[in-house]
Amino acid sequence: MPELPEVETVVRSLAPHVTGRRILNAEFNQPRVLRGDAEATTRMLVGKKIESVGRYGKFIVFTLRPAGFLIVHLGMTGKLLWNGAPEKHTHAIFTLDRGTLLYNDSRQFGRIEAARELPEGVQKLGPDALAVSLDDFTDFLRKRKSRLKAVLLDQTFVRGLGNIYVDEALFRAGVHPMTIGATLRKDRVKKLYDAMREVLNEAIERRGSSISDYVDSDGTRGSFQALHRVYRRTGEPCLTCGRAIERTLVAQRGTHYCPKCQKR
């Protein structure tokens, strides 16, 4: 579920609930999603005030006062829910001075971590997909010898894109997913850069894509899935030329594209 537009939507829905609130308790019952010791994490969080909540690529970062951070990555099926009822897949419960925040995650690919500083794995990510300049995007791409699908998914290239928005951006740019990054001509690089920003911004306006069960922290679904042009439209007609959309495997990920509009 959670790529840049979905994480941005979760953060925006969360901010009015949690900003300025104090953490009274933090309980963890699933060691797999928690980085570090449960008791130590609880000790680090209890009594702290949430100064702000923000998005860092696909990471959600709570900045704490007087010090420290709570970092959450939703993985494939993670959800942060405001005042929800705990269920089978609830792995963390944060009790605030007003309201409760739950972390649910059926597949447990997500991560929760409390730390004094942002972890190394978070700091080494590339620039945000909505903040990177065209010049940097062009320079970084020139160094990449893998296929564009893999490059755009690589969070150390730019952070925030995932499988849906890579396919959608490549389609809008008219570029084939197997094109080697470094070989892309300058005018096509700009097209790809513009397409990436456009699709991400439109998806944020629609509050993200709800493919199966994605919801924001208030339980509201996104609606951008209705505007996908290639993702999961295998066999359906291309909205530009009418050719059937194809699905193939690139970098081990299901990849959707129009064979006519996206030439190699």
Listed in sequence order, the residues at least 6 apart from 195 whose beta carbon sits closer than 8 Å to its beta carbon are 169, 170, 172, 173
Looking at the Cβ atoms of 10 and 96, the one nearer to DNA is 10
Q: Which of 42, 83, 100, 108 binds DNA (CB under 7 A)?
A: 108
For residue 177, is the peptide bond before it cis, meaning its omega torsion is within 30 degrees of 0? no
Part of the chain binding DNA (CB under 7 A), chosen from 44-52, 94-102, 143-151, 186-194: 143-151
The mark string for 219-258 relative to DNA (x by CB under 7 A, - otherwise) is: ----------------------------x---xxxx----
Q: What distance in Å separates the CA atoms of residue 25 and residue 44, rounded to the nearest whole number?
A: 10
Degrees to nearest 5, angle at CA 233 with 227 and 235: 145
Judged by CB under 7 A, the stretch of 18-26, 92-100, 128-136, 140-148 that binds DNA is 140-148
Among this protein's residues, is 3 annotated catalytic?
yes
User: Is 210 one of the binding residues for DNA (CB under 7 A)?
Assistant: yes
Residue 127: active-site member: no
Which of 150, 175, 230, 258 binds DNA (CB under 7 A)? It is 150
| Closer residue to DNA in complex, CB, 3/23 | 3
Q: Active site includes 2?
A: yes
Considering the complex, state which of residue 99 and residue 254 has its C-beta at the smaller distance from DNA: 254
Which residues have CB under 8 Å from 200's CB, separation 6+? Answer: 4, 5, 129, 130, 160, 161, 165, 169
Residue 167 in tokens: 């396919």
Interaction of residue 168 with DNA, rule CB under 7 A = no
Q: Are 50 and 66 in contact (CB under 8 A)?
A: no
Q: Does residue 31 carry a catalytic annotation?
A: no
2: contact with DNA by CB under 7 A: yes
Q: Which residues bind DNA (CB under 7 A)?
A: 1-3, 6, 32, 57-58, 73, 75-77, 88-89, 106-109, 111, 121, 144-147, 150, 153, 155, 162-164, 209-214, 247, 251-254
> Which residues form the catalytic set?
2-3, 58, 253
